[in-house]
Structure 1
Amino acid sequence: MHLEKYAFRADENNEVFAFESNGPNGIIRKVVRYIKVGFFNGFDIYNLDFGDNCDGASNPNHLSVSNNGDRDKVLATVAATVLAFNEDHKKFVVFAKGATPVRTRLYQMGINANLNEIEEHFHVYGINDGVSGPIQAGINYQAFIAVKK
């Protein structure tokens, strides 16, 4: 993706990623985990788990609010971890939902702003009330899935 992003580190399985947000509130450690939650039709299904790394043990705090002035850079970094995750995991679906409706809306804004680039690698679907369909402008979704092309 063309957006500025932070450098990140990956664990040996390329499933846990760590990086640091740097802004007016200092350096804030972030973590992104891909947790396998199932298997369907030949695809592994992973939950994208993201937040501040407050405990140092790769457990994201989903409700912390950093307000570090770098939202777009943080979201671009999370998106970059999906591509890095793809290096070791070839046939997968990523499920993403914010811890709150406001966070889910924030993720949707990031997806919509970069949809053309995202769709070079993934099919993106929005989910409402358990029903999924191709993401469309003007509809607020409860969650998202990205299927590797």
Structure 2
Amino acid sequence: MAPGIYNLALLDFDLVTQDYVDDSITDNGDMPEVLATVMAVFLDHLSQFPRSGIIITGNRPSRTRLYQIAINKTGDDVKRQLKILGYQRSKWRIFEPNQSYESFLIARNLVD
């Protein structure tokens, strides 16, 4: 997206079309496990590339809201390691619970 900024895409593989899709709803009850895995991947990526950032945007408002709920549930120990911004009204802002955002930017909380 920009130097050091990556877009995260959560996709399903469609066995019929043999393609990856971002608009499926599997609703098979594994969302907590999927989001925990995604957070582990974030932390691994950011430990390897500490000056990078990852942008997350849902393909529709309900999916973005789901990502926000997952961010809200992130433990305090993980949140201390991260800088989380939300995109709202054409500006990046420090993430706050109970606000609505269009997308999110997650990076390491570096102290220089």
TM-score higher than 0.5 here?
Answer: yes
2:34 to 74, 87, 96: 74
Distance across 2 between alignment mates of 1:60 and 1:116 = 33
Alignment check: 8 A CA contact 1:50 1:60 kept: no
User: Which structure has greater helix proportion?
Assistant: 2
Provide Cα deviations, 1:52-108, integer angstroms capped at 9, x if missing partner.
Answer: 1236xxx64110111111111111111111122234322101111011100000000
For the aligned residue pairs, the C-alpha RMSD in angstroms reads 1.7
Alignment check: 8 A CA contact 1:49 1:60 kept: no
Normalising by the residue count of structure 1, what TM-score does the alignment of the two structures yield? 0.65
Instruction: Look up the equivalent residue of 2:30 and give its one-letter code.
Output: D
> Does 1 or 2 have the higher relative contact order (CA < 8 Å, sep 6+)?
2
Distance across 2 between alignment mates of 1:38 and 1:75 = 25
Q: In structure 1, what is the equivalent of residue 60 of structure 2?
A: 100
Structure 2 gaps, min length 5: none
Secondary structure, counterpart of 1:99 in structure 2 = coil
Asked if 1:51 is matched to 2:51, the reply is: no
Secondary structure, counterpart of 1:53 in structure 2 = strand
Structure 1 segments, 4+ long, off by >6 Å, are none
Secondary structure, counterpart of 2:48 in structure 1 = coil
User: Which structure has greater strand proportion?
Assistant: 1
Q: For structure 1, which segment, 103-112 or 74-83, has the greater mean C-alpha deviation from structure 2 after superposition?
A: 74-83
**Pairwise mapping of residues 59-70 of structure 1 onto structure 2 (< 5 A)?**
60-70=20-30
Structure 1 gaps, min length 5: 1-36
Distance across 2 between alignment mates of 1:77 and 1:50 = 11
Asked if 1:114 is matched to 2:74, the reply is: yes
